[in-house]
Amino acid sequence: MKKRLPPLNWLRAFEASARHLNFTQAAAELNLTQAAISQQVKGLESQLGVSLFKRLPRGLELTEAGQAYMPVVHEAVERLAAATDELFGQGRKRLLTLRVNLVFFTTWLAPRLARFRARHPDVGLRFASNIWLDEQGKEADMEIRYGQGVWPGYKSSRLTWDELFPVCSPRLLDGAPPPTSPAELDAYSLLHVIGYEEGWGYWLSQTGFHQVDASQGMQFDTLITALEMATLGHGLALGRTSLVAGMIASGRLVAPFEQRIATSEAFYLACPAHQYLSPQAEAFWSWLEEEAALERDGPGATPPQE
């Protein structure tokens, strides 16, 4: 049986009146007349079938039913107000929403975000993971995608120019050192990532190590998971320059081989071709392109592969 909830304005009138124990003060808080507040409380009492207040000459007093109902209504109003402020607050400015590849956010974007926030402190940001690509019902101003950069109905801007190479922990789980040649990879677990065209089979083929079994090892649905397993010594993952530079610099990962190949896949900033971009979105788009150019053209960066 469907239960009928009282109107929200009736509940707000009751909650404010119960806090102040005065209809006039509740009316001032809610920008209503005292008569409107009184009428809404009467409506609530009529629907509930109980009296919530004792009307006294010098104010109000909660009945037993009112005392029992007040904490529940107060908590509900407070939680609704907090959630509304969190999701839609900041002066009612709309948040800039970005759907982002998890490994790109963790290793590339997050360490740079302080620069954007310093430059644009008034822009609110909201990030959502796009582990599973489902374009239906997903609201976002733009997103980070991995691939060849061509998606029907979308415009995109390339953010990374990477080399592909194996990485692993300085010490494997059994304490063994990393392999010294790709020819030894049959004796080590390969950490695969589902959905990447340029995987272990591609790297081994391009570097001439066709004899290595590219199918053995473990599979993961995100690159960040495979890289974390690599740092823990479970095997070797394929790293991309822009994503593993920090892990290598910190010593969590090493690149045991000299063989590297340029990737044709890359991370792209994308949005529907005809979608309107707000000034905040335009600012974020321009900033990301600027950061990508600094990464590409900086010392030791891989030349652009157009």
| Axis-axis angle for helices 8-20, 34-48 (nearest 10) | 110
Residue 299 three-state SS? coil
> How far apart are the C-alpha atoms of 269 and 244, rounded to whole Å?
20
- 3.10.105.10, 3.40.190.10, 3.40.50.2000, 3.40.605.10: CATH of 163-262: 3.40.190.10
CA distances from 48 to 7, 11, 41, 290 (A): 12, 11, 11, 60
Q: Which of the listed CATH numbers 3.40.50.300, 3.40.190.10, 3.90.1170.50, 1.20.140.10 matches domain 96-160+265-297? A: 3.40.190.10
β-strand partners of 59: 56
CATH 1.10.10.10 domain locations along the chain = 8-88
Ranges of CATH 3.40.190.10 domains, the chain = 96-160+265-297, 163-262
**Quick check: 147 and 265 in contact, CB under 8 A?**
yes
Report pLDDT for 135.
46
Strands 266-272 and 142-147: antiparallel
> Which tokens sit at 20?
């102040």
Give the amino acid at 174: D
The per-residue pLDDT for 139 is 73
Inter-residue contact 63 to 52 (CB < 8 Å):
yes
Q: What is the pLDDT of residue 303?
A: 39
CA distance 92 to 85: 8
The pLDDT of residue 90 is: 53
Q: How many CB atoms lie within 10 A of CB 28?
A: 15
Pairing of strands 125-129, 261-262: unpaired
Confidence (pLDDT) at 136 = 42
Q: Please tell me the CATH code under which domain 8-88 is placed.
A: 1.10.10.10
Partners of 167 in beta bridges: 237
Which residues in the chain show pLDDT less than 50? 1, 135-137, 300-306
Question: Measuring CA to CA, which residue among 85, 94, 159 is closest to residue 125?
Answer: 94
pLDDT of residue 304: 39
Residue 78: the pLDDT is: 87
Beta pairing class for 163-167 and 190-193: unpaired
**Distance between first and last Cα of the chain:** 63
Per-residue pLDDT, 273 = 86
pLDDT of residue 302: 43
Determine contact, residues 262/296, Cβ cutoff 8 Å: no
Distant-in-sequence, close-in-space partners of 81: CB < 8 Å, separation ≥ 6: none
- Residue 305 is predicted with a pLDDT of 41
Q: DSSP readout, 222-237?
A: SHHHHHHHHHTTS-EE
